[in-house]
Each structure stands twice: as C-alpha cells, then as structure tokens.
Amino acid sequence: MNNLRLEITDKDGHELKTNSWLQFNSEAREIYGLPLDDAVSKWQYRLTATDSGNESVTETVEISVQQHRGVRTVNHEINIAVKINEKNIHYIDWQLKLIEAIATTMGDNNTKSIVVREIRQTSQDPHTATLVYFNETVPTNQCPESELNNLVKHLDAQRLSDLVHPILGIKSITGQLTGPCQKLVSIKPKTPSISAKNSPPVPRNQVDRVVATTGHLLVYKVPSDTFFDPNDNELKLNLKTKDNKDLNPRHWLQFDVKNHEFYGIPKGGDIGPEEYLLVAEDSGGLTATDALVVQVNHAPKREFSVYFKIYLAIRHEQFNADLQRKFVERIAQLFGDGSTQNIQIRSVTTHHDADGTIVNFYNTTLFKMHNRCPEEEIEMARNVYLDGHAVRDKVKKLMGPELNVTNVQVSTLGICNPQTDVTHREFIPNRTEEPLLRSTFSDDYMFTIIMPAIIIVVMVLVAAIIACCLHRRRRKSGIPVIFQDELDEKPEIGNKSPIILKDEKPPLLPPSYNTSNMNGDNDVDEYVPPPAVVVGGREARGKSPATPSYRKPPPYVSP
C-alpha cells in the first residue's frame, strides 16, 4: 500500500481546480473539503492508484452533499474579513486554517459548532475575502443578541491574527442577527469592516418532500417563505436534477418559473422517490439551494365502471407536460370540479390513422360499488361529452384549439358491460425520461402470453437434451453383465462326430462261450469290462451307467 501513488481527479479525469470545494492531500492520503450551500448535490470523482511498475487501477468515488439541518433556524451570522497573503494556496486550505483558528480562540476542542454559510469575495480585490458562519451552540428559540455579543467579544482579533499568520491577515470581525431577528443596526464591529453590497438568499422553510400519484396531475406551489433574501423582494426559482442540471423537457415533472409551481403527471414507471434541487437566485446572481424529494405512489386500485377515450388532432410528441396539464384541468372544469383529483390518466397513445393523439382516462368517481353498476351517473357523464354520437360544441370550445378534440368514446366496463366483463388494471409502463403515457397492450400481451410460452418451450427443449445425453451415456458405460440363468440353452446336435481321445484303444472282441462244458456245470466266466480311460489324470466317465457283467447261457441239452 505504501508503494502506491494515489491521485484524485474529477469524473472527466481532469485535475481538481484550486477553487474546488474538495481537495486531496497525496502525502497524508486524505480527502478533505468544505462544501457550502451551492455544493449540495452528488459528486463523482476518480481515484487512481499507480504502483512502481506504472500499472494503475481506477475507481469511482461518489460524495453526496446535503444541507445542514440548522440552516432553517439560523438567526445570526458572524463575518470575518481576511486578506490572503499567499497567492498559490488552495481556497480550502486557508478556509480550514481560519476555522481551526476560530475554534482555538474560542477555547473549543473541535470545529463542530462552526457552520460556514458562505465565502464572499469581490472581483475588485481577489486577495480579500469574508468568511460567514454561525455557531450551533447559540439558542434558536429566541433572538440571541446577548449570546452573539459574547461570541464576538471572545473572538480576540490579535490572537486570531497570530494563529493564521503569515497565510492570512485579519481585517475585521462583525456579527449580526438574521432572519426574523434581523435588525437595522448590527452589532458594532470590533475593527473597521468592509460592508457587503449583496447578501445571498437563505433557505428558511424548505420543501423537503412532495407526494404525487400515478396518473393524477400534480400541481405544487412553492411557499413564498421557502427562501429569504435581505436585499431582494423577489427571487428567481428554478428546479434542477439532483446532479444540478436542467430538467429534460420531456421529463414528466416540470417547473413553472413564473408561478413557482411543480406540475406533471407521473407514469407507473416513475413510482418511487426522486431527488431534485430547488435553486433560488437573486438579482446579483447569488444562489441558495434546497434539496427535496418527490415521492410517486401507486394509484388506489378500483374496479372502474366506465372508460373515456378522447381523440386529439395534435401530434403525439407535441402532447407535452404543459398540454397534459391543460387537458386534465379543462376536463375537470367541464364537470364543474374545482380539483383534478377525479381524473386519472391511464395512457396516452398515438392515433396512427389521423396522426393524432388518443388520451385514455377514468373518472375515479365512477367505479363499481356493492356490485352495482352506476348507470345513471354514466349516462350523465356521456351527455356531458356527446350529443347523440357527436361531440358537443361546448366540449370543443372549452378544450380549445390547442387540444382540438375530434371524437369522444365512452365505453362501459366490468358489470356494466357483461359482454366484456374486463377489469382494467393500473397502467405501469417502463420508466423513461418521456412524460407521455403509452399504451400497455403490447407489454401486457408480451408478458402474459408470449414470454410464458417461450419459457415453457425452452424448458422442454433443455429437458429433452438432458434426457438424450443421459441415455447415450448409459448405453456407452461398460460391458453388460449376463447371468447364467439368462443364457439360452442350445439344443445338442445329433449328427455330431465322436471325439477320439489320444489314449483310446479299439473295443474288445465279443465274449466267447465255452460250449464244450456239457456236464451241466453252471460255472461261467464272468465278463470283465475294459479299464476306464484316464484323461488328464482324471477318470473319464460316460453319462450311461456301468455295463453289467453277463453270464454264459446254460449248455444246450438235446432231447
């Protein structure tokens, strides 16, 4: 590890600038910095490690900067004007040096109670700056005039100068109340101070969280006391992404700069939290930032009874977030509703035949209740849009030429239409940067029919291949074992030539009978069989029984 050389660059691989809020000490191998309100965002850097063989590896380091919790209730600030004597020093280095000197002068063991709000510099003298901070130990439930006087009194300018010399020179130390405790006369400076011409805006009552529902129009007006600026009566507000970039014009959420309003219709794919930055800018170009979260939730599940389809003679890509807002607001106005919460957009599709746009939506008040079809309410809604089968002139006039309504269809659903008895479910498309809501027919067809069929076919093919492999392997695995009982007995062949043994002798002559014994003597010579044949040291025996011995017949006696 000690042989590695570490280096940090920005996400594009460029060297960190001297005025960057983040720096890297290569000798101590430490990342340090001082993020202010304008640095509230997510930052990415590249950390590169190089060994002695000049081989290197790079990883991405992400740092998230959030606003300090005490910014909302801050009621004072202390300004220390300094002169920067060293020209090549990093901005962060002299700022941290001054903060440590302040803590030492106040007798604190650390700098946790010091919260820096701003570093003010003038273009006339780039070597002069003012550090603005507040002390967290000061109470916020009242105007701390006496406590602020004590803090400024304990900040000994001479001791502070000795601690920061020769890098900095202390020019003045002042304190003043801010926010609701602000007075026309600030605390008397200990040394002549340089008055600032413009003070930046300060976040006061931050927005924090905004909740939206899929398919429903969100309109949120930023409260007037979200930011405070002592110099300007009005601030210019703008909404940016969490990366401090301008919103994509096709993103579902947009910001009305004139009226200070969030507006848009989230899709099902936008469900979940998303971070944004609300930026306030005064006339002098100074800014303050408020980080907020927009939470998109599912729409309540209901079994709707009627389904509205309106055809617009405008191109699909032109139906942006602004026109979508006007569409929903004018539909609500058509029914005399003061709120747009009863209008739920299901999808926005392209009408290919007329190169137009089709908006599909529900009226959330028309849904199945207690297994009853609200036929009267559906008929009243139909009469608002249609006169017979034609669109009423009142509808076309109210929607205006911007939307240009050409046709309206009202279709019943569920128990109100037994032929279909279809329950329309919530539209959940894939999340995109486009604010337009698209049809789900192709997605539903793909995920409910095509994909399961493909998965089943693949599983069957895999199972067949595995079975074939196992069968072939079983046929090739070794010589089969055959037991004796399994062998078929072969019949003996009748015309088989006899086997002549090596020591076999010719058969003996037939026995001779002694006919000369005429005395009637019964003694006869017994037949003696030939000796057994020995083959290979063993006596060979035939299958037939041993030949019995014979006697001579009795002598013949003539009558």
Looking at residue 429, its pLDDT comes to 46
Q: Quick one: tokens of 269? A: 């794919």
Residues 6+ apart with CB under 8 A from 123: none
What CA–CA distance (Å, rounded) separates 371 from 112?
64
Check if the beta carbon of residue 132 is closer than 8 Å to that of residue 126: no
pLDDT in tens, 92-117: 888 899 999 999 998 888 888 899 98
Where does the pLDDT of residue 437 fall: very low under 50, low under 70, confident under 90, or very high at 90 and above? very low
- Assess whether pLDDT exceeds 90 at residue 463: yes
Q: Which residue has the higher pLDDT, 196 or 42?
A: 42
Whole-number pLDDT of residue 356? 87
Q: What is the pLDDT of residues 465-499, one digit of tens each?
A: 999 888 887 766 556 666 666 666 555 555 556 66
What is the arithmetic mean of pLDDT over 225-246?
83
pLDDT of residue 480: 61
Give CA separation, 399 vs 319, 341, 402, 480, in Å. Answer: 14, 18, 8, 87
Count the neighbouring beta carbons within 10 Å of the beta carbon of residue 171: 18
Task: Quickly tell me which residue has 């072939």 as its tokens.
Answer: 472
pLDDT for 196: 46
The strand pair at 209-213 and 287-297 is best described as parallel
Q: How confident is the model at residue 460 (pLDDT cuts 50, 70, 90)?
A: very high
Q: Any alpha helices (H) in 140-232, and if so which ranges?
A: 145-154, 157-164
Q: Does pTM surpass 0.75?
A: no
Does the structure show a pLDDT above 90 at 178?
no
Average pLDDT over residues 59-77: 82
C-alpha to C-alpha distances, 559 to 167, 535, 556, nearest whole angstrom:
173, 53, 10
Model confidence band, residue 427 (pLDDT cutoffs 50, 70, 90): very low
Mean pLDDT of the region 356-377: 82
* pLDDT higher at 223 or 513: 223
pLDDT at 440 over 90: no
> Does the pLDDT at position 426 exceed 50?
no
pLDDT given for residue 186 in this prediction: 44
Q: What is the pLDDT of residue 425?
A: 46
Mean pLDDT, range 82-88, rounded to an integer: 83
